[in-house]
Structure 1
C-alpha cells in the first residue's frame, strides 16, 4: 500500500494502539500520535474478557498479556455490604472462545506490549509529545494538526481515528458529542 493510504491515529491508549497494530499487520501505513511524553501508567482498567482475549490473539499479543497478568476462570460481582452477589464459571464458554477465562492485566501493560510491536514495523510511525490540535479534510485526505516539541506539524492521511479519550480534542473540534451516564451503585467485579 502507498503512503497515500496512511491512517492517522490520535491517542495511544488501548483503542488507538490496538487499531494501529490491526491496520499495520494488514500492510496499511499508520501514524500513531500521543500527546504525552510516554505511555501513561495509570490504573484505569485491568480486566480482559474472553472476546477481547480472542481479538488480542488475532493481533499476536495475547500470550504476552497473559504472561503479565493473572488468569481468572471465575467472574464475580460483589457488593460492598453483601459480598458475592453473582458468580460465573467461565469454563462454560470453552466451545465458544479460545480463552474461557478473564485476565487481570492493567491496560498500560497492553499499550506497552503493542507499542513495542509497532516500533519494530516499517509501516508505522509512533510520535510522542505530539498533541492533536485540529483536523481538516478535502476530497482525498485528512490533515491532523499537531503540536510537537519541534513546533507545529501537519500530518496527512486517508483516514483519521480519534482515540484520544473522553476529552478528545479531535472529537470536540468536529462537534461530535460524547453522551454517557454514571450508575449510582458501587460494584466490585473480580
Structure 2
C-alpha cells in the first residue's frame, strides 16, 4: 500500500493507477480529493507542472457517486444511465446512452465516495455492483474511498484496485 502527501502528491500516484482504493480516516481529505479531481478533470485544468502529472486525466468525464447521499435519497447502486445524475448536480439531462458511451470509450473517471457508508450487510452488494460495472467498462478509471476498517485489505484487489493511503493533513 502506498501513501501520499506533501512529498509525493496525488498526481504521481493516480496517473499510473487506473483503479485506486483510497483508504483514510475521517477528515483525511478523501472526499475533497474526489471533488477536486472531478472539477479539474472536466474543466481540463490539470496541468503537468501544477498537478503532479495529472494532465492525463484532463477531459475525462467524471461521474461522482456519493454513496451516503444516494442512500439518504433511498437510491441503491446506480446503473450507467443514472451515473450522470448520482451526485445531484446535473444542470441538463444527458442524451440517452451518453454515460454508457463515455464508459465504453474509456473516457470516464468514476469517483465512488464512501464505501464505508454502505451498511456492513450490504457491502458485498456494493462490491458486486462496482465489480460488474468495471467488468462491463474495463477501460474506465476509478477512484473509490473508504475508511480504514470498513473493508478488508484485499477487498477490491481482484478488480485491479491498488490501495493508497493519504498522509494526515497538517496545518502550515
Same fold (TM over 0.5): no
Q: Which one has a larger percent helix, Structure 1 or Structure 2?
A: 2
| TM bracket, shorter-chain basis | under 0.3
- Structure 1 or 2, whichever has the larger Rg, is 1
The TM-score normalised by the length of structure 1 is 0.26
The TM-score normalised by the length of structure 2 is 0.28
